[in-house]
């Protein structure tokens, strides 16, 4: 190439490349919960946590995913910490597979169980996954970057009018939770809830960014 010719632009990594790189980064972290690297995927309800956690689990070769919706209940939307600790965190810390009871949102009671192998990386996804009480067991907090209003609109469109009253109550509870116990400032990785783009977070950065672009499922 002649000296006067500009160098061609370096191609940006494709989304799948970023996901593969993130999976490799997580595998390289020190264990945080016994032999397990426990990774939280947190964000507002409707921000794309479950979808992204599924993609990341696949990139990790089938990593187990703990869904906090399985541990919460109608009367205890954020009162699942004890169940998570006793049924999941303590067994994993001891190097044992875990098994937790799954709440049925239709029957309004716990019904069935879910098994969590003590794999090299285990994901825990749900609103509040990066909360203060869980962080001592976490190797990484990942935050889905989508503002509360946009996430709620997405969730309401997904769930339909029958759950409008539930969403109204949920929004109040979620707002109170994050006001008292924010997760975003502790996220070392952020994921755009619209595009799925993965970017480094800045631990300790105040929660001032609000994305207002059109919501679409990732």
pLDDT of residue 172: 93
Q: Mean per-residue pLDDT for 35-60?
A: 96
What is the chain's mean pLDDT, rounded? 87
Q: pLDDT by residue (tens digit) across 134-148?
A: 999 999 999 999 999
Percent of the chain's residues with pLDDT above 90: 72
In which band, very low, low, confident or very high, does the pLDDT at 129 lie, cut at 50, 70 and 90?
A: very high
Q: 15-68+120-200 has which CATH code?
A: 3.40.50
Q: Mean per-residue pLDDT for 15-41?
A: 94
**Distance from C-alpha of 26 to C-alpha of 64, rounded to nearest angstrom:** 14
Residue 197 has pLDDT above 80, yes or no: yes
Q: Would you list the DSSP string of the chain?
A: --TTSPPPPPPPPPHHHHHHHHHHHHHTSPPSBTTBEEEEEE-STTSSHHHHHHHHHHHTTS--EEEGGGT--SS-SS--HHHHIIIIIHHHHTT--EEEEEEETTTTEEEEEEEE---SEEEEESTTTT-TTTGGGEEEEEEEE--HHHHHHHHHHHH-GGGHHHHHHHHHHHHHHHHHS--GGG-SEEEETTT--EEE--TT--S-----SPP---
Domain regions of the chain by residue span: 15-68+120-200
Residue 19 has pLDDT above 90, yes or no: yes
Percent of the chain's residues with pLDDT above 70: 85
Q: pLDDT by residue (tens digit) across 185-195?
A: 999 999 999 98
User: In this predicted structure, which of 64-68, 119-123, 171-175, 201-205 has the lowest mean pLDDT?
Assistant: 201-205
In which band, very low, low, confident or very high, does the pLDDT at 44 lie, cut at 50, 70 and 90?
A: very high
Residue 109 has pLDDT above 50, yes or no: yes
Q: 10 Å Cβ neighbour count for 36?
A: 25
pLDDT of residue 209: 36
Sequence-distant (6+) residues with CB within 8 A of 128 are 42, 68, 78, 134, 177, 181, 183
pLDDT of residue 15: 56
pLDDT of residue 213: 28
pLDDT of residue 202: 57
pLDDT of residue 160: 83
């Amino acid at each position: 190439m002649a000296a006067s010719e500009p160098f061609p632009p370096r191609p940006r990594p494709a989304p799948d490349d970023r996901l593969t790189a993130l999976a490799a980064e997580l595998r390289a972290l020190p264990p945080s919960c016994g032999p397990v690297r426990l990774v939280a995927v947190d964000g507002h309800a409707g921000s794309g946590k479950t979808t992204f956690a599924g993609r990341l689990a696949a990139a990790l070769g089938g990593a187990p995913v703990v869904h906090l919706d399985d541990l919460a209940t109608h009367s205890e939307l954020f009162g699942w910490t004890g169940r998570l600790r006793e049924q999941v965190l303590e067994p994993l810390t001891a190097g044992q597979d875990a098994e937790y009871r799954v709440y049925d949102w239709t029957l309004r009671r716990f019904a069935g169980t879910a098994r969590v192998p003590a794999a090299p990386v285990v994901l825990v996804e749900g609103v509040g996954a990066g909360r203060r009480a869980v962080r001592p067991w976490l190797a990484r907090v990942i935050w889905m970057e989508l503002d509360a209003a946009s996430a709620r609109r997405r969730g309401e469109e997904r769930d339909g009018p029958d759950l409008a009253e539930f969403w109204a109550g949920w929004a109040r509870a979620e707002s109170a939770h994050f006001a008292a116990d924010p997760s975003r400032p502790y996220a070392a990785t952020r994921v755009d809830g619209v595009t799925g783009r993965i970017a480094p977070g800045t631990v300790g950065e105040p929660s001032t960014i609000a994305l207002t672009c059109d919501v679409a499922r990732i």
